[in-house]
Structure 1
């Protein structure tokens, strides 16, 4: 069985937005290209989070509409395992850890599948640590 990870939108966005990549996130991306090496779990909201950040990047003239569409299309080429997270558990974690419900979905999946969480979101790292969820925080040092 391949090792698995829950990957949050913040990591995927480092692959898509210029200047956001780190050596660690690029290494994960390279491993994810060959889906025989690892399995990546995401909640259904992952796609909307990524698309929303790309939309904001277009609105702020950081990238063009064409670049946003290409970025999202490139991400669709990855083999993510989309898994729903229990909404009651997500709400409970959100209240307990002061997180958005869609962020708590990543924690729920990591607990359910007993896999590490990959994130560059400090709030998620802190909550995961409090919950004893294996987490591999990815430093924000740029390439």
Structure 2
């Protein structure tokens, strides 16, 4: 495996109190060892928004957010340039077919198109990936 598709739920679990598990950390270790994490163009916005919401709920501080972002910036992360051009076609069709939000379908479409495993904690997204035979990380929750 040289690449995986990284959903924000996994990355956020590394930094939010009470959400990190040994299984989630396996994904982080793979990326730290050089496996490239593929992300759609919305990923950075989703992660930033979730961190800001965690700040507002006093789960983390601004310093914690800054440290999380600095840590993520060091990882081999590659943004998919095709997300926007596929939003109104392949991604929308996949969202309809699998009864997902477009925001979730973008990760599934990317994993399918690139032939990678999908790293996510989202139950609906995992169910759709299993139905379409897309490998999952962590393999079990």
Runs of 4+ in 1 over 6 A off after TM superposition: none
CA displacement 1:67-97 (0-9 Å, x = unmatched): 1122112111111111133211111111222
The unaligned stretches of length 5 or more in structure 2 are none
SS of the equivalent of 2:5 reads: strand
Query: Which residue matches 2:132?
Result: 131
Query: Which residue matches 1:54?
Result: 51
RMSD: 1.6
User: Are the equivalent residues in 2 in contact too, given 1:8–1:118 (CA < 8 A)?
Assistant: yes
Aligned residues: 137
How far off is 1:136 after superposition?
3.0
User: Are the equivalent residues in 1 in contact too, given 2:24–2:138 (CA < 8 A)?
Assistant: no
Closer, same or farther: CA 99–116 of 1 in aligned 2, 3 Å: same
The unaligned stretches of length 5 or more in structure 1 are none
User: Structure 2 length normalisation: TM-score?
Assistant: 0.88
Distance 1:77 1:3 in 2: 17
CA displacement 1:12-47 (0-9 Å, x = unmatched): 011111221111211221221232xx1211111111
Query: Which residue matches 2:38?
Result: 41
